[in-house]
Amino acid sequence: MGKRVGKQTVEIESKPRIIATSSIVGPKEGSGPLKDYFDIILEDDLNDKDSYEKAESSLIYTSISECIKKANLKEEDINYLFAGDLLNQLTSSSFAARDLNIPFVGLYGACSTMTESLSMASMIMDGGFANYVVAATSSHFSSAERQFRFPLEYGSQRSPTAQWTVTGSGAMVLGKEGNFPYVTFVTIGKVKDYGVCDVNNMGESMAPAAVDTIAQHLRDTGRDSNYYDLIATGDLGSVGKKLTEKLLLEYGYDIKNIYIDCGDEIFDHKKQGTNAGGSGCGCSAVVDCGYIYKNIIKGNLKKVLLVSTGALLSSTSCFQGLTIPGIAHAVAIETD
Amino acid sequence: MGKRVGKQTVEIESKPRIIATSSIVGPKEGSGPLKDYFDIILEDDLNDKDSYEKAESSLIYTSISECIKKANLKEEDINYLFAGDLLNQLTSSSFAARDLNIPFVGLYGACSTMTESLSMASMIMDGGFANYVVAATSSHFSSAERQFRFPLEYGSQRSPTAQWTVTGSGAMVLGKEGNFPYVTFVTIGKVKDYGVCDVNNMGESMAPAAVDTIAQHLRDTGRDSNYYDLIATGDLGSVGKKLTEKLLLEYGYDIKNIYIDCGDEIFDHKKQGTNAGGSGCGCSAVVDCGYIYKNIIKGNLKKVLLVSTGALLSSTSCFQGLTIPGIAHAVAIETD
């Protein structure tokens, strides 16, 4: 049964367990610094499909069904699928959900979708509405590039602050019991807009939302930032990460020693030419489901705050001269 | 505390109250058969903005803030806003949420978003996570038309099965107490795809999902369809409505006498030239928040099943030759 804590946070008293995760990535992510933590690395990012959109949908379908298998469950055991992606009208998730026999709640939070879906999944579990739920999301470099930016064939130059959309999908299965990492607190974020208009600088547009959600989470729970072994924003990239660190210092929180950003970690920016780092819903999804979850299971991390961040723009809103609002949701994951 | 009932339904035991609703519509909807039930009727569907997208965002902002006022509450009293719309990346809802100081959960279920947001709102209330929440959605004929179909300036001909996207937004505030209609059961739907490819025939693509969700809801709750004074799908239009009625008969449920479809009701199709009827998230939103809620309050209806229906297509998926998956979520609203 949920319990409100402070202004914006809820305690997840029943501690739903993350009993399995799965991650699937493209070849570029699969040759980056975190390659050893992903379950499946594609050789070809088309994944035998005839469009990048169909490929992306096959990624999220695969991560969800693999995750259910890993949890020793069947589709019919899962009460809800919470999922979303960056494609217009959630094409990837909707078509994946069509091929899965699971009641589907479509979510959109741009690149914050991993913690948005995990938040909803945790609250629904805690409310007693489900025995098992899945939280998932995906993104694909090539489908995102042509939808939000330019046709790939242009070979357009990228600005130094630009980020590289991750090709990948991550999924988590939550259950009630077992010796697994569990969710303890959820802080749903507010939309923050500091007037950034540069579509090639997502990190700057999302940083204020990350800062607001992290600071609110710490205030609400009465925790010091050092309570956590790791705070992982995603996907602010190197530019947004620096800003977040600096702004949080102004709020009195020095998180430097325990802070990573999923977009900053997933690529070797210089070698891989990814400028400010990775982005896309799939970025925090595969880093959370791969690198972070596996390090919790190994005992290297015990208390983690996941803070996926989203830039709530559309190509229409940008062309109409609007600024880029950001949002971030925080989920605390702990283990005994 | 939630309680699972049957395979796919949950009982909302705490009966969260719908303490206020609001509806705002464009001039065409405001001169249709339900005009007396809407709170605000715009004279100009641009609503003093310089784009239809900005106009749509102003509609959902207005319906949410008016609804909060009607409930005698302030923005800071609302713990969560559950909202979504048809525009790419939820432009309308995200920008409205930016101007509201409320933690925001973005949802996408195409035209099923009203009952999707109401389902999440009800479950989150019942789980004890909130004192007050808002569920809302919007659509706009002109922003939808140019995003999904053709520039308005083409003046393209419309097929007989085509529907007319409603310009409008509806919002509901849920609270814990008071003598108001309350939510008793929620059935989250599965994605159903019977292979319809015709983007000018949404009713046909969504009808199987409506049928599946209604039949499942009745099986799960053990209720006969005549338990309800009204079952309101939306927005199947006249074509989808006929199909739904017919298919439900095959499942053994004769709902003819208590069945309306929001898309079928909102326009006078012949006089207003809306072919198969209204559509868009705003359609079931304004009919539910206006016509149906007000009739419950008046005592004309006591037991209603709302079943918003969504077609999970994107222009990309259609251009790539994919079929149109449908989804429907059912929420039972009752009063003493």
Tens of pLDDT, residues A39-74: 999 999 999 999 999 999 999 999 999 999 999 999
- Mean pLDDT, rounded, for B12-37: 98
Residue A155 is predicted with a pLDDT of 85
- The average confidence (pLDDT) of chain A is 96
Residue with the two structure tokens 């705070």: A231
Indicate the pLDDT class of residue B155, thresholds 50, 70 and 90. confident
Residues A244, A298, single domain; the answer is yes
Tell me the residues of chain A between 242 and 271 that have a Cβ less than 8 Å away from chain B.
Answer: none
Residues A118, A152, single domain; the answer is yes
The string of pLDDT tens digits covering residues B263-313 is 999 999 999 999 999 999 999 999 999 999 999 999 999 999 999 999 999
Residues A125, A263, single domain; the answer is no
- CB burial of residue B176 (10 Å; 0-12, 13-18, 19+): middle
Token couple for A164: 């590289």
> How far apart are alpha carbons B29 and B289 in whole angstroms?
14
Domain count, chain A: 2
The string of pLDDT tens digits covering residues B178-208 is 999 999 999 999 999 999 999 999 999 999 9
Residue ending a domain, among B152, B175, B198, is: B175
B74 touches chain A (CB under 8 A): no
- Residues on chain A touching B95 (C-beta within 8 angstroms): 312, 317, 322, 325
Residue A229 is predicted with a pLDDT of 98
**B124 contacts A1? CB cut-off 8 A:** no
0.90 surpassed by complex ipTM = yes
Residues A305, A192, single domain; the answer is yes
Q: Backbone phi, then psi, for A331, in 5-degree steps?
A: -130, 125
Residues B122, B200, single domain; the answer is no
Beta bridge partners of A49: none
> How far apart are alpha carbons B91 and A2 in whole angstroms?
30
Residue ending a domain, among A160, A175, A190, is: A175
Q: Which amino acid is at A63?
A: S
Token couple for A246: 């600096």
Indicate the pLDDT class of residue A88, thresholds 50, 70 and 90. very high
Q: What is the CATH number of the domain that holds A68?
A: 3.40.47.40
| Residue B209 backbone zone (phi > 0: left; psi -120 to 50: alpha; other: beta) | alpha
- Mean pLDDT, rounded, for A12-29: 98
Residues A86, A215, single domain; the answer is no
Residue A2 is predicted with a pLDDT of 80
Residues B191, B155, single domain; the answer is no
* DSSP 8-state symbol, B107: B
- Mean pLDDT, rounded, for A293-309: 98
> How far apart are alpha carbons A63 and A65 in whole angstroms?
6
From A54, A105, A111, select the one nearest B84 (Cα to Cα). Answer: A105
Q: At what angle do helices A237-250 and A202-221 cross, to 10 degrees?
A: 40
Residue A289 pLDDT more than 80? yes
Residue B234 pLDDT more than 90? no
Residue with the two structure tokens 């379908």: A61
Residue A1 pLDDT more than 90? no
Residue A14 is predicted with a pLDDT of 97
Question: Domain residues for B142?
Answer: 3-175
Using CB atoms, pick whichever of B10, B101, B127 lies closest to residue A2: B127
B165 touches chain A (CB under 8 A): no
Using CB atoms, pick whichever of B97, B104, B129 lies closest to residue A2: B129
* DSSP 8-state symbol, A149: S
- Mean pLDDT, rounded, for B141-165: 91
- Mean pLDDT, rounded, for A222-232: 97
Residue A234 is predicted with a pLDDT of 87
Q: Backbone phi, then psi, for B332, in 5-degree steps?
A: -90, 125
Residues B221, B116, single domain; the answer is no
Residues A10, A142, single domain; the answer is yes
Residue B278 is predicted with a pLDDT of 96
Residue A185 is predicted with a pLDDT of 98
Residues B34, B133, single domain; the answer is yes
Residues A120, A165, single domain; the answer is yes
Query: B321: which residues sit within 8 A by CB, 6+ positions away?
Result: B197
Indicate the pLDDT class of residue B316, thresholds 50, 70 and 90. very high
Residues A165, A212, single domain; the answer is no
Residue ending a domain, among A132, A154, A175, is: A175
Residue with the two structure tokens 């909803």: A120
Where b means 16+ CB within 10 Å and e means fewer, B188-220 reads: bbbbbbeebeebebbbbbbbbbbbbbbbbbbbb
**Chain B interface, best mutation among A111, A113, A193, A317, by max B CB count within 10 A:** A317
